[in-house]
């Protein structure tokens, strides 16, 4: 039978007891980590979120408590009163914060019993992630999960305190809004009071935060939930959290400098690391040229080199044919990988194929600059020397080449670069390399839809010197946009926004939106622009991704209290689920989907 707490009040957390508490009477409450019966003595490790302490039950101290201890099992919830004592000489545990003391129990209450959990409540447990998510309340008891939640709290608090000190107002924006064509699919919410109409959950507070700038709020922020109905990966969730902010009367430089200071503070307050400022800055084009991706991992070399000028005159049709068709030939040097077997190289080729490469040519650098490759005959010795020199090839190196259009070459080599670096084990795990990527293309052409789409979103301002190109050469227009990347992962992105109606109309026109469509979808924003809108810009950081990196985790599910699976379901609550026909009728909704177990 479980007992009540009565008038007991907890005096200390379990994990805070130290030698200075010796002799004190304490009241502790927590969960049983483990129990050990040594005959006349029973030892129980009692755990709460601050850590654990060893309890000692002795018949000489209190027989009733000792008898209760004989039936206590793991994860029982206890309240105890007792005295902090020194551990006997030779039994101290210096690796445990409380390892110099015990608590001699004088009275115990069993507040609740517990079934045997489906996995051990300890760090490093090897158990299927679906089981962890099904019993998330048990998973969260594990110290490493608590530490991740604590780190998340400290990151959010550091951001909130920093922004408050710098004059930002924390303001909420609606969770029920209208569906607008901004990128991913919206989650829709039917309106009972407005039959046939739907709200959408926000993909971001973009339009509202711009309107707050129109309203003269000057600096806004919130730590906000966002929703996107998209396919999921390890670093994506259908609902996620952003540190979202906007500022008036700023340019790109103002945003970057302030955000560097905020990120530096978050790193310091959470993991004690102080990144050096300012962060390096590179253009989008430089990122693509050197790393093949717009979110470059700069912790290691293996940078991409262009050899198109040499390859165009060689006799190898794959190379010069690509260049004749407007493409390029580029390469990376896999240092020291010249001993790779043919199977190893075939595996690399298959990996490059995933990103559109039709093949992967290679050179193996031998003694005195000699080259081993199936395509040697197509090159002069002078050309071979130039290529090896450009790639800084040395004996034992493996040079890997891709020839195709610029997009495929960048994607294939950019991802192959990461893959090879992982195989070579040259990526430092304990390093944080921040870099700003600037001057993104404003638009990109969608081959399937045969129209331009926004690289970031439709409200990003073009660079002023490129504005005239918006009508004549949209692909050449650069955006006043910026992404913050760390270790090859984008953790934040933003831009200076369009704040004039005529430019916003030109942007919508470039995206193929008619005036009628633009007015229907965004008329409220366009009208707001007519009432005196200040220049403004902002950024949003993915809190989940940022905490994942700081915590050294591989998945954002490990830093979100109640995440969804890769199929966007909650194993704890079995959401989403069917609802009663009466609820659907109220909303004037019918479904023709037959779910297993619901057939009549």
Overall average pLDDT of the 163-180 stretch: 95
Domain boundary among 369, 400, 427: 427
**Both structure tokens of 389:** 């020199």
- Alpha-carbon span 166 to 153, nearest angstrom: 20
Count the Cβ atoms, other than its own, within 10 Å of residue 388.
Answer: 19
| Residue 120 β-bridge partners | none
State pTM to two decimals: 0.93
| Residue 111 β-bridge partners | none
Matching residue, tokens 């409220």: 524
Per-residue model confidence (pLDDT) at position 1: 59
Per-residue model confidence (pLDDT) at position 430: 84
Domain assignment of residue 567, yes or no:
no
| Residue 496 β-bridge partners | 537
Residue 169 and residue 215 in one domain = yes
Q: What is the pLDDT of residues 245-295, one digit of tens each?
A: 999 999 999 999 999 999 999 999 999 999 999 999 999 999 999 999 999
Overall average pLDDT of the 126-147 stretch: 96
Q: What is the pLDDT of residues 321-371, one digit of tens each?
A: 999 999 999 999 999 999 999 999 999 999 999 999 999 999 999 998 789
Residue 415 and residue 445 in one domain = no
The sign of the CA dihedral 564, 565, 570, 575 is: positive
Overall average pLDDT of the 572-585 stretch: 93
Residue 277 and residue 305 in one domain = no
- Alpha-carbon span 22 to 103, nearest angstrom: 9
H/E/C letters for each residue in 133-148? HHCHHHHCCCHHHHHH
Domain assignment of residue 468, yes or no:
yes
What average pLDDT does the structure give for the chain? Answer: 94
Per-residue model confidence (pLDDT) at position 140: 97
8 CB burial (10 A radius; 0-12, 13-18, 19+) = middle
Q: Is 200's pLDDT higher than 80?
A: yes
Matching residue, tokens 């039950």: 57
Residues 6+ apart with CB under 8 A from 259: 484, 492, 539
Per-residue model confidence (pLDDT) at position 547: 97
Q: What is the pLDDT of residues 468-510, one digit of tens each?
A: 999 889 999 999 999 999 999 999 999 999 999 999 999 999 9
- Alpha-carbon span 224 to 204, nearest angstrom: 8
Domain assignment of residue 293, yes or no:
no
Q: What is the CATH number of the domain that holds 504?
A: 3.30.930.10
Domain hosting 495: range is 146-175+202-282+435-559
Considering only CA atoms, give the Rg of the chain.
30
Overall average pLDDT of the 568-596 stretch: 89
Domain assignment of residue 43, yes or no:
yes
- Alpha-carbon span 342 to 479, nearest angstrom: 44
Overall average pLDDT of the 64-91 stretch: 96
Q: What is the pLDDT of residues 381-416, one digit of tens each?
A: 999 999 999 999 999 999 999 999 999 999 999 999
Domain boundary among 112, 133, 161: 112
Residue in 84, 89, 221, 193 with CA at minimum distance from that of residue 541: 221
Overall average pLDDT of the 556-569 stretch: 94
Overall average pLDDT of the 92-114 stretch: 97
| Residue 221 β-bridge partners | 170, 245
**Alpha helices (runs of H) in 371-500, residue ranges in sequence order:** 381-390, 406-424, 469-472
Domain boundary among 407, 427, 447: 427
Torsion on CA atoms 215, 216, 222, 226, rounded to nearest 10: 30
Domain assignment of residue 67, yes or no:
yes
Count the Cβ atoms, other than its own, within 10 Å of residue 223.
Answer: 18
Residue in 572, 558, 579 with CA at minimum distance from that of residue 237: 558
Q: What is the CATH number of the domain that holds 41?
A: 2.40.50.140
Q: Is 598's pLDDT higher than 60?
A: no
- What's the structural domain count of the chain? 3
The secondary structure of residue 201, as a DSSP letter, is: -
Report how far apart, in Å, the C-alpha atoms of 210 and of each of 162, 163, 164 are.
21, 18, 19
- Alpha-carbon span 462 to 390, nearest angstrom: 36
Q: What is the pLDDT of residues 223-241, one digit of tens each?
A: 999 999 987 776 789 999 9
Residue 447 and residue 392 in one domain = no
Quote the percentage of the chain above a pLDDT of 70: 98
**Both structure tokens of 399:** 């040079």
For helices 252-271 and 543-551, angle between their N-to-C axes, nearest 10 degrees = 40
- Alpha-carbon span 173 to 209, nearest angstrom: 8
Per-residue model confidence (pLDDT) at position 400: 97
**Both structure tokens of 376:** 């040697």
Residue 550 and residue 530 in one domain = yes
Cβ(362)–Cβ(398) below 8 Å: yes
């Amino acid at each position: 039978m479980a007992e009540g707490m009565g008038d007991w009040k907890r005096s200390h957390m379990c994990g805070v007891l130290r030698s200075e508490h010796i002799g004190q009477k304490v009241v502790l409450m927590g969960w049983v980590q483990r129990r050990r019966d040594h005959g006349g003595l029973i030892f129980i490790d009692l755990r709460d979120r601050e850590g654990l302490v060893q309890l000692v039950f002795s018949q000489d101290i209190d027989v009733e408590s000792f008898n209760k201890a004989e039936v206590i099992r793991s994860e029982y919830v206890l309240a105890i009163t007792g005295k902090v004592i020194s551990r006997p000489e030779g039994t101290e545990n210096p690796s445990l914060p409380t390892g110099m003391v015990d608590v001699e129990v004088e009275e115990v209450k069993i507040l609740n019993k517990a079934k045997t959990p489906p996995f051990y409540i300890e760090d490093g447990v090897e158990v299927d992630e679906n089981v962890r998510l099904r019993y998330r309340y048990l998973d969260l008891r594990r110290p490493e999960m608590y530490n991740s939640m604590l780190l998340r709290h400290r990151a959010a608090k550091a951001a909130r305190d920093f922004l408050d000190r710098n004059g930002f107002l924390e303001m909420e924006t609606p969770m029920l809004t209208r569906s607008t064509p901004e990128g991913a699919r919206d989650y829709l919410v039917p309106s009972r009071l407005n039959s046939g109409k739907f709200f959408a959950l926000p993909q971001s507070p973009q339009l509202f935060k711009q309107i707050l700038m129109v309203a003269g709020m000057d600096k806004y922020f919130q730590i906000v939930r966002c929703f996107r109905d998209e396919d999921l990966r390890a670093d994506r969730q259908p609902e996620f959290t952003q540190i979202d902010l906007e500022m008036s009367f700023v340019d790109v430089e103002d945003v970057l400098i302030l955000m560097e200071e905020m990120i530096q503070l978050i790193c310091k307050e959470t993991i004690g690391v102080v990144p050096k400022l300012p962060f390096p800055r590179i253009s989008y084009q430089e990122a693509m040229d050197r790393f093949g991706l717009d979110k470059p991992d700069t912790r290691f070399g293996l940078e991409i080199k262009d050899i198109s000028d040499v390859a165009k005159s060689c006799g190898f049709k794959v190379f010069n044919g690509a260049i004749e068709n407007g493409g390029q030939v580029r390469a990376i040097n896999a240092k020291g990988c010249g001993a790779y077997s043919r199977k190893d190289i075939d595996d690399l080729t298959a990996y490059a194929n995933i990103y559109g490469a039709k093949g992967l040519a290679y050179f193996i650098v031998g003694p005195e600059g000699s080259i081993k490759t199936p395509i040697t005959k197509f090159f002069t010795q002078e050309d071979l020397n130039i290529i090896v020199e450009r790639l800084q090839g040395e004996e034992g190196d493996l040079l890997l080449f891709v020839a195709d259009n610029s997009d495929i070459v960048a994607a294939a080599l950019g991802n192959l670069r990461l893959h090879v670096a992982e195989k070579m084990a040259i990526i430092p795990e304990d390093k944080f390399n921040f870099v700003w990527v600037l001057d993104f293309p404003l638009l990109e052409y969608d081959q399937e839809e045969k129209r331009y789409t926004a690289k970031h979103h439709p409200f990003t301002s073009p660079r002023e010197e490129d504005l005239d190109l918006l009508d004549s050469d949209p692909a050449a227009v650069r955006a006043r946009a910026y992404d913050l990347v760390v270790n090859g992962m984008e953790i934040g992105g933003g831009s200076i926004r369009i704040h004039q109606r005529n430019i916003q109309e030109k942007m919508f026109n470039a995206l193929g939106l008619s005036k009628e469509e633009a007015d229907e979808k965004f008329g409220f924003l366009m009208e707001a622009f007519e009432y005196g809108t200040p220049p403004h810009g902002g950024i949003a950081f993915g809190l989940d991704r940022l905490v994942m990196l700081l915590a050294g985790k591989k998945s954002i599910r490990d830093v979100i209290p109640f995440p969804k699976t890769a199929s966007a379901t909650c194993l704890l609550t079995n959401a989403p689920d069917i609802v009663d026909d009466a609820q659907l009728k109220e909303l004037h909704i019918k479904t023709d989907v037959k779910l297993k177990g619901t057939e009549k």
